Amino acid sequence: MKRLCVLLMLAALPALFLLAALPAWASEPDAARKLQLDSLLNQDCGSCHGMTLKGGLGSPLTLDAMRAQDDDTLLYTILEGRPGTPMPPWKMMLSEADARWLVRRLKGEKP
């Protein structure tokens, strides 16, 4: 029995190494995904936050407004939404890496 457990653990090692490397692979959206995210920001976010992102149904997403916010708070808001408001959760359509890229973009970086 002990030998079987050791064999199973050894067989699982390659999968564990792949899982450990996954965040590194998913840390930055590729160029095509960045174009999609830019479009999402302008069209989908803009539909509530205003086409110039200066506010509308949703709060302004201007540089000043975004720089005043903590990155983790913005990340959470993008992925989980804001209960009791029209802000929906985007976690079904965006990865954490996508949301982090959007946060950087909203804060004026050119990621």
Q: Which domain holds residue 80?
A: 28-106
Query: How many domains are there within the chain?
Result: 1
In a domain, 13, yes or no: no
In a domain, 22, yes or no: no
Q: 3-state class of 15 per DSSP?
A: helix
CB-based contacts of 39, cutoff 8 Å, min separation 6: none
Reported pTM: 0.74
In a domain, 63, yes or no: yes
- CATH number of the domain encompassing residue 87: 1.10.760.10
Q: Out of 14-23, 65-74, 90-99, which region has the weakest mean confidence (pLDDT)?
A: 14-23
Separation CA 12–CA 76 (nearest Å):
33
In a domain, 84, yes or no: yes
Side chain identity at residue 80, one-letter code: E
In a domain, 11, yes or no: no
Task: Give the per-residue pLDDT at 26.
Answer: 53
In a domain, 18, yes or no: no
In a domain, 17, yes or no: no
Handedness of CA 93, 97, 103, 104 (dihedral sign): negative
